[in-house]
Every structure is written in C-alpha cells, then in structure tokens.
Amino acid sequence: MARGPVLGAPRLSEPLRRERRRILHAVHDRIEEVAETAIEVMRTEIPSYALQDERFFDDVREQVLEHYRMQLAALAGDRDIAPEDLVFSRAAAMRRARAGFALEDWISAFRVGRQVLWDALLDCAGTSAEAQQAALCLVTPLMRYVDYASTHAAQAYVEYQQHVVADADRERRDLLDQLLAGVAPTRGPLFAAAQAYGIGPRSPMMAVVAVCVDNVGTGDLTSAEHGYATSASISVAGPWAGRTLVVVRHGEVVTVPVVRAGMNAEDICAHFEAVQRRLARAGTMLSMGISTVARGAAELSRAYAEARAALDLVPSGGGVAALPRLSPFDYLALRADDLARQLVDPRVRALLEEDRRRGDTLAATIRAFAEADLNLRLAADRLRIHHNTAHYRLRRIEERTGRNPRRIADLLELLVALAIRDGAGEGEDGQ
C-alpha cells in the first residue's frame, strides 16, 4: 500500500469545522477512559480475549491508545496516514497470530475499537443539530482508517500463517522422507514431530496413498488439485486419539496412521473407506491404496510400496483397495493380466457374464458352496433357498461349463474365473 487513506477535515463551513475540532479535542481529553471502555467490551465480546491475563491487556491497551491517537490526529487534519505509521499494528498482529489467536478475533477487536470510539464521538458531540452534523462528517474517514488498518493487520496474519504452514509442510515431508528411509528420528525437531503423531521406532503403522481422480470413469488423475483439501479431510477425525501424519507430495496424499492400543488394521481401513465416501459425496473422488501393518519404521518403506501397488487394484472411477481385507487368492486374482483372462475356459466366462446380467445367483451359489466346505445343505441354508434349488444350480453350472463344483479342482477353477471376472469388471462398489 503506497498511500494511506485521506482522513483530514473536508471542506466545511466554519461553524461545522469548529464543532468538529471541539468534538475531537473532547474525545482526546478522555482518550484513556475510552480505551479502557474498549478493553472491557473486548473482554466481554471476544471469548479468547476473556481468557487472557493483565500482561496481555497491557499490550492491547497500548495498541488501542496508539490507534486512537493516530485517528484523532488524522481526523483533525494534523497528519496523514502512511503505511509505515502502522508498523506497530503489524507487529501486534504477528504477536497475536504467533500466540494462536484467530484472525476473526483480531478483526473483532478492531470492530470493538471502532464502535467504542464512535460512541465517544457521539457522546462528546452533544445533541445540537450542528454538533450532530459535525459528528456525521467523521463517519467516512473513521471507516476508511479502520478498513486500512485492519487490512494491514490481516496481511500480517496471512504472512505469518503462510510462513507457519510452509514450515509445517516442510517438517512433515522431512519426517515422512526419514521414515520411508527406514529410520525413526531420535532427536531434534523431527523427533518431537514424530512423538506428536504417536510414531516411535517400533510403532505399528500403516501406509495409505490417495490420489484424486479428475474425471470419474476416465482414470485421469490430477497431481495435487485437491491435495490439501484431501489432506485436511483425512486429518480431521478418526477412530484414534491424537494426530495423524498426512503429507501432500508428488501428486499424492500419503498418510501414516499408527495402529494404537485397542485398534486393528480393519479399524484403519474402515476409517479411510468412510473418508473416501464422504469426499466422493462432496465431489472429490479419490483412489486409495492401504497397506498391511508395518512393525516399526524399518518396515514403512515396504508398507508404502504396498499402498502404491494397491492403487493398481482400484477402478478408474475411484475407490479403496485395502490389502488387509484381501486374501492371497483375492490379490492374485485382482492382479490377473489379459493372459490369465484368456486362459479362462470360454464356456465358464460366458456363463459367468450371463449370470452377472441376471443377478449373479449362480456366482453366489458357487461362493456359498465353497464357504460351506462343499456342504450343499448348509450352502442352501445360508442362501435361504431350498436345497433342491441349490442342487439344480450346481447341475446347471456343470452342464453349461463342463466343471463339476463338487470336484475340488473344478470348484477352484470356477472361483478363480469368478474372481478374475470381478477384478476385470472393476467392482461397482470400488472395493
């Protein structure tokens, strides 16, 4: 800001100029009383200020008086306002930001100060028409000063917060890089940061990698368009107490949740699945890969590689691939390439595709029969169908494919074909 606002006396009749000067001098004579009133209102209306001690309010009092004296001198036409005049205010804003006060609290203090000063001006003006008119001519320059000064304060807040955010981002990235190198920090700032996230040399951890899908269904991934929004959403809450390390890097969001006491890998998976769904409803579609548990920092690089590999199992439209929820059989089937799909007997492939279009009743029967250890009656009970219906379905599968589900080798081939089909179909539920 090269110039300050114009606050001096406008062109007024001599009687109005005299009234204006009288009002300003009267307020100046009681300026300390006005400042005390402003401080009391701040205590009452700004909750974070109400919690502070007298040392804090000594600083506030000094700031209020400095602003009031500057405004009164400028309104009287005795001086102009330049950016360098507000260095004291910028320094105070930095102190408030460093102490953790919200920007809205600082701006509320400006609002209170302005209102109390205006009340004092009206009180000193009196009730005559000429005095009221003289007071009204102070409204615009008073607002200009407050706008100008509060803008300077806001800039100081933003500069400080940008500095803090940049430092925090750098610290998180440095911590993640060291953990991925297989070493937990043992001293210094990174050690303190690791402790804040509950990370120790042997802490059980998992790795979660998320990328944003730009256009659902196309598989076009953005690098970091929604990275920080995603990071904030992941950080806000979970089934654990304490903070979680979340880092935006290289077009992906990497999270290192600690498996704390009373938790297991499924708790972590369920939380991130809920995060993915919540963000999807808000319009941010994620693909997430979740690793198995790493037993300490030495295994975290392996967990990160697992989470990256799990992303390959996620459909192009987004979803979650959680390795702790997959059996080795499921994983191998999901990783099947085109050659594996070609090796599936065309009769089996045709039956399963047709069955999917008709509601997957035969697929459900195959799975239930396997899960019941080839006990057809138990499988029928679980499917809530008559055992004769289950028997008919198995016979139909054998007739159409040449595979008898009662033979272990044939049943295994059907299960593999079914898993490959579902993997190739990229699972409607994204799992």
Domain boundaries, the chain: 14-163, 189-325, 335-425
Lowest mean pLDDT among 1-5, 73-77, 306-310, 427-431: 427-431
Residue 369 pLDDT > 50: yes
DSSP codes joined into one string, 347-369: HHHHHHHHHHHTTSHHHHHHHHH
Q: So what's the pLDDT on residue 395?
A: 92
Q: How far apart are CA 174 and CA 157, in angstroms?
A: 26
The more confidently predicted of residues 231 and 379 is 379
Q: How far apart are CA 227 and CA 214, in angstroms?
A: 12
Proportion of the chain above pLDDT 70, given as a percent: 82
Convert the pLDDT of each residue in 121-164 to its tens digit: 999 988 888 888 888 888 888 888 878 877 877 777 777 666 66
Lowest mean pLDDT among 85-99, 138-152, 223-237, 334-348: 223-237
Q: So what's the pLDDT on residue 163?
A: 64
Convert the pLDDT of each residue in 263-274 to its tens digit: 889 988 998 998
Fold (topology level) of 335-425: Arc Repressor Mutant, subunit A (1.10.10)
Residue 279 pLDDT > 90: no
Q: Does the predicted model carry a pTM greater than 0.75?
A: no
Fold (topology level) of 14-163: Globin-like (1.10.490)
Residue 349 pLDDT > 60: yes
C-alpha separations of 378 from 372, 384, 413 in Å: 6, 10, 22
Convert the pLDDT of each residue in 205-222 to its tens digit: 999 999 888 643 333 334
Q: So what's the pLDDT on residue 292?
A: 93
pLDDT, averaged across the chain: 82
The more confidently predicted of residues 146 and 287 is 287
CATH superfamily of 189-325: Reverse transcriptase/Diguanylate cyclase domain (3.30.70.270)
DSSP codes joined into one string, 295-332: ESGGGHHHHHHHHHHHHTTS-TT-EEEEGGG--HHHHH
Residue 81 pLDDT > 80: no
Residue 71 pLDDT > 50: yes
What is the pLDDT averaged over residues 14-40?
Answer: 91
Q: So what's the pLDDT on residue 3?
A: 52
The more confidently predicted of residues 23 and 234 is 23
Residue 350 pLDDT > 50: yes
Q: How far apart are CA 153 and CA 128, in angstroms?
A: 37
Q: So what's the pLDDT on residue 337?
A: 62
Residue 11 pLDDT > 80: no
Residue 430 pLDDT > 50: no
Lowest mean pLDDT among 50-64, 69-83, 149-163, 184-198: 149-163
Q: So what's the pLDDT on residue 219?
A: 37
The amino acid at 156: A
For 172, residues 6+ apart whose C-beta sits below 8 A from its C-beta are 193, 245, 246, 247
Cβ distance 159 to 147 under 8 Å? no
